[in-house]
Amino acid sequence: MTTLLHRFTVAKLLRVACCRSVYSGPEAYPVFSRQDFAEDDGTWEWKKLHNIRQRVVDIQNGINHEGDKKIVDDEARKVHLLPHKIYSKPEEYYPLTDVAKVVYGNKTKDPMPKGIKHKMDPDFIRPEVQDLLKSLTGRDPEIVFAEQTGLYTHMPRVRLLTTEQLNQEIKKMDEKFDEMLEMPPVMLEREEIEETIAFDELLDGYEEGKLIFTDITVDLKPDERCMVVREPTGLLRRAQWDERDRALGVYYPKCGRSLHKDPVFENPQVAFKNQFHKNILERILVEFVPDSKEFIHYTQMVYDEIDKESQYDLLRSTRFFGGLAFYLAKHKSIDGLLKNILENKSSLPDAADLVKLFCLINNESNTARNLKDLNNCDDFRIVQVYVQNDATMKKILELSLQTFQQIPQSAQNF
Partner 1 sequence: MVRLSWLLLERVRNFRKLQTTRERLVARNAECLFAGDENIQVYSKLDGVPRLKNQYAIRLAKHGCPNRPFYHIVLAKTYDDRDTEIEQLGTYDPMPNINNEKLCALNFERIKYHIALGAYLTRPIRRLLGLSGFLPLDPTLLIFAENLRRRKAIEQKIKSKESEDSEKKTETEKEVD
List contacts with partner 1 (CB under 8 A). 32, 43, 45, 77-78, 80-81, 106-108, 197-198, 200, 202-218, 226, 228, 230, 236, 243, 246-247, 250-251
Terminal-residue alpha carbon distance, the chain: 137
Nearer to partner 1, 164 or 208 (CB): 208
Beta bridge partners, 227, equal 214
Nearer to partner 1, 155 or 218 (CB): 218
> Whole-number minimum distance, CB 348 to partner 1, in Å?
55
> Whole-number minimum distance, CB 214 to partner 1, in Å?
5
Nearer to partner 1, 205 or 263 (CB): 205
Element (H, E) at 237: strand 235-238
Per-residue DSSP letter, 21: -
Q: Please answer whether residues 262 and 214 qualify as being in contact, where contact means their C-beta atoms are separated by less than 8 angstroms.
A: no
> Whole-number minimum distance, CB 247 to partner 1, in Å?
7
Beta bridge partners, 361, equal none
Nearer to partner 1, 114 or 210 (CB): 210
Give the separation between CA 62 and CA 85, rounded to whole angstroms.
Answer: 18
Nearer to partner 1, 204 or 313 (CB): 204
Give the separation between CA 294 and CA 286, rounded to whole angstroms.
Answer: 12
Nearer to partner 1, 247 or 334 (CB): 247
> Whole-number minimum distance, CB 315 to partner 1, in Å?
36
Q: Which of 390, 297, 350 is nearest to 137 (CA)?
A: 350
Q: Which of 292, 274, 276, 192 is nearest to 238 (CA)?
A: 192
Nearer to partner 1, 74 or 189 (CB): 74
Q: Please answer whether residues 353 and 135 qualify as being in contact, where contact means their C-beta atoms are separated by less than 8 angstroms.
A: yes
Alpha helix ranges (H) inside 310-372: 321-330, 335-340, 348-361, 366-370
Give the separation between CA 77 and CA 48, rounded to whole angstroms.
Answer: 17
> Whole-number minimum distance, CB 203 to partner 1, in Å?
5
What order of strands is seen across the sheet that includes strand 196-199?
196-199, 235-238, 227-230
Q: Please answer whether residues 323 and 134 qualify as being in contact, where contact means their C-beta atoms are separated by less than 8 angstroms.
A: no
> Whole-number minimum distance, CB 104 to partner 1, in Å?
9
> Whole-number minimum distance, CB 285 to partner 1, in Å?
25
Nearer to partner 1, 145 or 252 (CB): 252
Residues, the chain: 414
Q: How many CB atoms lie within 10 A of CB 254?
A: 10
> Whole-number minimum distance, CB 79 to partner 1, in Å?
10
